[in-house]
Amino acid sequence: MFSGEVARQRPVLVNGVPGHMSWRSDGTPLSVIAFTVADGRITGIHIVVDPAKLASIQPPAPAAGAQDARPR
């Protein structure tokens, strides 16, 4: 699905819900995944890989904890 190597990846908050983000070493986001959780179970997964939507997302700082990544 992706070309090239993922340089970084990390759990993040996506609009306040658990998620995961991956990005290239140059800081370009590759994907954002958000999980809908109900009663302790994952009930939905939303994946964004559209470069136009990902362009407005800042990758989390490498040393920081979970960051809020919000597609705009």
pLDDT at 42: 94
Q: What distance in Å separates the CA atoms of residue 41 and residue 6, rounded to the nearest whole number?
A: 28
Measure Cα distances from 37 to 8, 17, 33, 61, 67 in Å: 25, 8, 13, 25, 18
Considering all CA atoms of the chain, what is the largest pairwise distance in Å, rounded to the nearest integer? 38
pLDDT at 55: 86
pLDDT at 71: 45
Residue 69 — φ and ψ, nearest 5°? -105, 115
Blockwise average pLDDT, block size 10, the chain, 72 residues: 67 90 85 94 94 82 47 44
Indicate the SS3 state at residue 40.
coil
pLDDT at 31: 92
pLDDT at 6: 57
